[in-house]
Every structure is written in structure tokens, then in C-alpha cells.
A and B are shown apart, each in its own frame.
Chain A
Amino acid sequence: MIKTYAEINKKIESGKAVVLTAEEVIDYVDKRGLEAAAKEVDVVTTATFGPMCSSGCFLNFGHSTPKMRISEAWINDVSAYCGIAAVDVYLGATQLRQNDPANMYHPGEFRYGGGHVIEDLVAGKKLQLFGLSYGTDDYPRREIRTLFDINDLNQAIMVNPRNCYQNYNVAVNASDKRIYTYLGILKARMRNMTYCSAGQLSPLLNDPLYETIGIGTSIWLAGARGMVYAQGTQHCSLVERGENDVPVEGSGTLALTGNMKEMLPEFVRGTSFKGYGVSLALGVGIPIPILNPEILRRTTVRDRDIIACAVDYSEDYPQKTGKVLARYNYEQLRSGEVELNGKKVPVTSLSSYNKALKICGLLKAEIEEGRFLLSEPSQRLPLNQGMKSLNITGPAR
């Protein structure tokens, strides 16, 4: 080991840390050589910006007079979960607005939902709370309707039980009719493909074996100082990996949290996927401390060294056949066109490389100015963990 977290933090505090983005570090190491660069570079910043359905927030409203134990609540007509303490609620990003016709008239538009409420909260807009209760001796109020904004709340804490998917499928539609998915609109007969990863900028692709990113890692969550609080749901590290240890499918995930009162509206955005539903697009930046040359080498991963699998979302994905139609690297995908069965297919992304690049730069600036210190994880993410399926058992009813 050539550096410790404490040494790097000391350099950051004195404003002398050398920080590069995950894009800049590639050329830098090429020019300087790995050993020399490992001595010079202290931190590499990684980032991603894209829809993260597994998002939500805990809100505390404070008490009205008389007090109320809210048992059902709607924020701008979007239902929030109240099965917790008196004036705490949990609002999920994919929750639809009350009376949204969903896919009753297919494909549904899903113009407003939980993700948009979260966007409006961070943007400081006034929202409407409507709450009901059955009333108790200590909490007699039965109904409440009031306007509020994020400054009126005691706490607004975002939680993302599953974020920063290490890698992801490339979606294509082999059927003869258009389909609507969380990876966007897929034209019939494989006329387009979509992927969703920041590739060479993405946090877990720059730390494929979770050597520095673990439980307790400080992160940049939409501008707020957040952290990794657990392994993400569906964290499945036991997957096929390339020679560089980079997985060729979903694999690792992170559970993140951060204070919404510190977030920047640009990086917290409600999204509507036609025919699918609502979600939340979120910007995440994660610093990687360059503790040794090996960690640095892994951050020099290039789009062309990262492979993703093209999967048919009309049949193989919903039916879980496990079939992969083709494999591409992110350089090919990012070129905007790949070949499948001898045909040229246009490719687009749901994850924004542009915003991820911007976040890498913002986090870099914060570290350079001594405003963001690194934290050593208290626990590592599991390395050899598989994923269970849900088997349908029990008597048929």
C-alpha cells in the first residue's frame, strides 16, 4: 500500500490533492505510466446520471395542532406510505398519481408520479399534503390538507435501496410490434437498441471488485453529501467477468442515502416512461482513492473494455430465458450503431454521459477545494454473492 485514506484526506484539506475524472485518468496513466501516476494521483472521480427506479424518501412533517397520526397520505395526489411513526411518511419514486389510468389506454403516459414529487420538493416548489387518520386519544385530528415545501419539513432524506448498477442489459425488441419498457420505446424487429450505463465513468465499473466503494463510503448524491448505507438490493457479484474483472451483466449495486435539502434540482428529475411508468433520474458521484497502483489501473478502464449483453425485451427478458442475442462493448454502443444479425441497428442511451461527465467535474472541484473528504468503508460489499429467484410454491388458490 502506498497511500492511506488519512494521507489522502490530509492532502485534500491542504488543497494539494491531485484529482482526475475517470475520463482524464485514462490518458494520464497512458502518458505517465502506472507506477508514477499512482504516486501522483490521489483521487479519481466517477459518476452516473440516469433513471433509478429504486428511489424514494422519508419525510417528517412535524406536528399540527391538534396532533395527528397520519395513516394515509397523498402529496400532490401521489400516495405516500404511512405505516411508520406519526408524521413520518415514505414516498416512492415509481408511485403513480391517484387515478392515473396507467396502461388502461395502452401505452399510458404516466405524466406525474413519485419521481416528479421528489423533483418538485428538491426544486423548492409548494406541494399539497392531504392526510387521513382514524384518530386516537393522543392524536385526535382525523384529516389534514395543507401546502408545504421542503423548508417546512424537519427531515427529507432520500434513500435508494438499489442504485449505481455495475453494468446493465442492452435492450432490443425482436417481436413484430413496438414495445414500451423501462429502457424506453423499442421499435419492432430490432430497429433500435437502448443501454443504460455511464460506461467508463460509472462508479462500480471503475472499482469492479469493490476495493474502495463499500458500506460507509462518502458519495456525492445530486450535490448533497451522501453515503453508501448497505449493499444495494439485487447485489449479485457472482457473475461472469472479463479478464479485467469487469462484469458483463448487472452485478453489483449500492444502497445510497443523502439529505434532499442539500440537493441540486438539476440532478433530481422525475421521468415518465410511456407505457411503463414513472421513475426518478438521479446524479451520483463517487470518489475513488488511489491507495495503490492496482486501484489506479482499474480506474483506467475504457468503454471498449466493458462488455454488455443485448437481450430481447419482448420475450427473453420477461420470460427469463437467460438468452443473450449479442455482446457489445460500450465504445461500439456509444458510436450510435451496432450490427445485429447482419443488420445495422441504431443505439441510444438512457443514462446521460453528458451529465455524468459534468458530475465527475463538480465532484473533482469540491475535492480540489478541500470541501469533500473521503471516508474509508466500514464494511466491504460481498464479492461472491448470487441472486435468488422467486419460486411460486404452496397450494393454488
Chain B
Amino acid sequence: MITKKIYLYFPKSETEKPIVYQLVKDFDLIVNIFRAKVTPEEEGYLSLEVTGTQDNIDRAFAFLGGFDVVIHAGNKSVRWDEERCGQCGACVVHCPTQALSIVDRETRTIAFCEENCVECLACIAACPYGACSSAF
């Protein structure tokens, strides 16, 4: 069993299709949705983690490829821009999962660990430098 993070962009034409249902039913995937914003007649976004066999995940990706959906594999829809980061640490106390943390106490270096991010978006409000952003 492997786990993959993906986030999907649905154009207006695809927002009424029950894609997640099919991921579970047809490909036997465990689906953990971080965030979703899918409204009929509007474009939508879905950020999730899928767990299953390599074979099933490959088949599921091929299935998704059959729709007019943009697949961002391996990425979360929250981004941390190292260049923009002011290295202050204001975010650290607001991040509930230590995805943003001080990785080197000597030099007080801040870094982002995507694995730990649950996309709560608290960092976006807390960061004065606009280093954290969301795809949706």
C-alpha cells in the first residue's frame, strides 16, 4: 500500500461528476480529503491523499486523466515560498501540526515540511511576508 498526495482542479464542465466516489468504489482507494471547494456550475478544487496498491493508484490516475481535470500529483495546495519567508517564526505557534517549524535552533531557520501539512491555512493569516499561499 502506498499513499499519494494530489490536488485536482475541476473546470466548470466536470464539477457535477462524483469522481471521489469512483476512486473509492472502483479503485479501492482510502481517501483522506484535506480541503474541497467543488460547487456545481463553478470551477472547483479538491486536495486529498489517496492510499492503495500501486496498481490501483496507477489505474485511478489513468481514470482521472480521462476527465478534463488537472492533476497536481505529489503536491499539497498549500505552498511555502522559501524566498519570501522572512525567517521570523511568527507562523510556528499557529501551525497545529509542526509543518512549519524551527529546524535549526542555532540559526533559527524556519522550514516547511509538506508531509505534516493538513492545509488548515492558519499560516496564511499569520505570515506577515505572504510566504504561505493556497491554490484555492
Contacts and interface: CB of A to CB of B under 8 A. Distances in A.
Interface of A: 49-51, 107, 111, 184-185, 187, 192, 194, 269, 271-274, 279, 281, 334, 336, 346-355, 357
A27 to B, nearest CB: 13
Contact of A184 (B107, B108, B126, B130): B126
A281 B87 contact: no
B102 A184 contact: no
B90 interface: yes
B92 to A, nearest CB: 5
B23 interface: no
Main secondary structure of the interface of B (DSSP, over half): loop
26 contacts: A50-B88, A51-B128, A111-B130, A184-B128, A185-B94, A185-B125, A185-B126, A187-B93, A192-B94, A269-B86, A269-B129, A271-B129, A274-B126, A279-B128, A346-B92, A346-B93, A348-B89, A349-B90, A350-B90, A350-B128, A352-B87, A352-B108, A353-B107, A354-B107, A354-B109, A355-B87
Contacts of A274: 125-126
B88 A351 contact: yes
B110 interface: yes
A281 to B, nearest CB: 6
Interface string B98-123: 00001000011110000000000000
Given A111-B130, A271-B128, A49 B86 contact: yes
Most buried by A among B86, B89, B93, B128: B128
Given A271-B128, A281-B128, A184 B90 contact: yes
A348 B125 contact: no
Contact of A348 (B86, B93, B109): B93
Contacts of B102: 336
B44 to A, nearest CB: 23
A192 B91 CA distance: 11
Nearest to B131: A269
A279 B87 CA distance: 16
A273 B130 contact: no
Interface residues of B, number: 19
B47 to A, nearest CB: 22
Contacts of A269: 86, 129
A194 B92 CA distance: 11
Contacts of A352: 86-89, 108
A6 B126 CA distance: 47
Contacts of B93: 187, 192, 346-348
A187 B126 CA distance: 11
Contacts of A355: 86-87
B128 A353 contact: no
Nearest 4 A-B pairs (CB), nearest first?
A271-B128, A354-B87, A353-B108, A352-B87
A272 B86 contact: no
Contact of B107 (A51, A271, A273, A357): A357
A273 B88 contact: no
A35 to B, nearest CB: 29
A348 B128 contact: no
Nearest to A186: B93
Contacts of A272: 128, 130
A29 B89 CA distance: 30
Nearest to B102: A336
Most buried by B among A50, A194, A269, A346: A269
A348 B128 CA distance: 13
Nearest to A185: B126
Contacts of B86: 49, 269, 271, 281, 352, 355
